[in-house]
Structure 1
Amino acid sequence: MTKIHPTAIVEDGAQIGNGCVIGPYSVVGPNVTLHDGVELKSHVVVAGHTSVGEGTTIFPFASIGHQPQDLKYAGEVTRLEIGRNNQIREHATMNPGTAGGGGLTKIGDNCLFMMSTHVGHDCVVGNGCILANNATLAGHVELEDHVILGGLSAVRQWIRVGKGAIIGGLTGVEFDLIPFGSAIGDRAHLAGLNLVGLKRSNLPREEIHALRAAYREIFESEEGTLLERAARVAEAHADRPLVKTVTDFMFARENRRFMTPRGEG
């Protein structure tokens, strides 16, 4: 059965699923949908046109769905969609989209957002991502699946981070980070591949070796431009799925700037 604490406020129009728990002093707005099994611990505010997927738990003092931190926002209806089985910890903030960014901020399933993390307007976060304490995403950031951000890291607006990548603590990300990449630094540089994550995923050893060879060819060679080297690697390793993930990411959008061992490429 759904449990709503007597001190909580659930406004008329809110849709509350089966088995939800709404804790003390929490506030749920009129355009919010909480799917089955969502738990708001206490002092949680969920506002705006926000949908929270089943099994998600939100901890005290989180602010979810309030208007975007964008001076161009003029009150238009935009949305925040949060997937299933996420943990959103204390003081985390998540904003809906803006008209100029497509109107939607979207969070996948099985993510962990630690204390005081921020997801800005129009972001897209994949499945299984982890944002450590105080990690922040500016507007329009895209995180693919299983990305990890270290504490106090920050990703600039419009940046893409490929699947399986890891960003160290206190790192500022200004350029796209390839899938499985590892980034560190005050202004981040590419520090190799996320080999720990690759090994934990139980991927075939030969595929990891192929990816390491491709990485060296793309980022350590000095023959041709970065994209020319990536094109040669894509042709030479067309039968290697991990390599293809990286090269597809690099060629998916035009006029992108990629993080390299020297910073920008």
Structure 2
Amino acid sequence: MNEMPHILVVDDHREIRAAVTRYLEKNGMRATAAQDAAEMDAKLATGHFDLIVLDVMMPGEDGLSVCRRLSGEGGIPILMLTALGQDTDRIVGLEIGADDYLPKPFNPRELLARIKAILRRTDHSEPLAGRLAGKTVRFAQWVLDSDRRVLIDGTGQETALTGADFKLLTVLLERARLVLSRDQLMDLTAGRRAPPLDRTIDNQISRLRRKIEQDPMQPRLIITVRNGGYSLAADVEVMDG
């Protein structure tokens, strides 16, 4: 990115807020801290931020509720901090629109690497849509407007996509009818390898299926290939925007 990215760190633990903001600032980023959702909203109203580091467990409005609310607005990328072993929080967070997660306690270098990976995907100098940037894409009964990051069905109804959903869909569209493994999808969407037993890609596929499949329990567009991965089973027509 051309300017220092501005990160909003939302965590009710003062020590964690202070440590994370210091570390990010030492590594070429601007960082602002908020202790809860109310303070976060106040800072969002008066400043520009490139990413939110958001703790799940907070007093008042919790991180999952915040993530759901902000993702519905199609806004800032979110990296969620979850308690170690709280797989449910992690899965729900990804399902409602978080771009990535990191369990506590975490290595600051890992947090920085995750933040940089998300920023690379959302930086306008490296469009989230890749080769589809500025294009309109037809597949099955859908039209994808890549500039606005919305899906349009046959009746003209629009469905907004989160950053993570949009990236996953464009990766599949660019490689229609190819079988992509979970590791390949993780690398293409997040720029990292999936740790053992990681279900991030499966959860993101499930979330995307709920948006584009007539019956998400019997998918016809994003199919599961046994011992292979996933494939977009549709012809794709790319037009200029």
Q: TM-score, normalised by structure 1?
A: 0.27
Structure 1 or 2: larger strand share? 1
Find the structure with the greater CA-based Rg. Answer: 1
TM-score by length of 2: 0.29
Higher helix residue share:
2
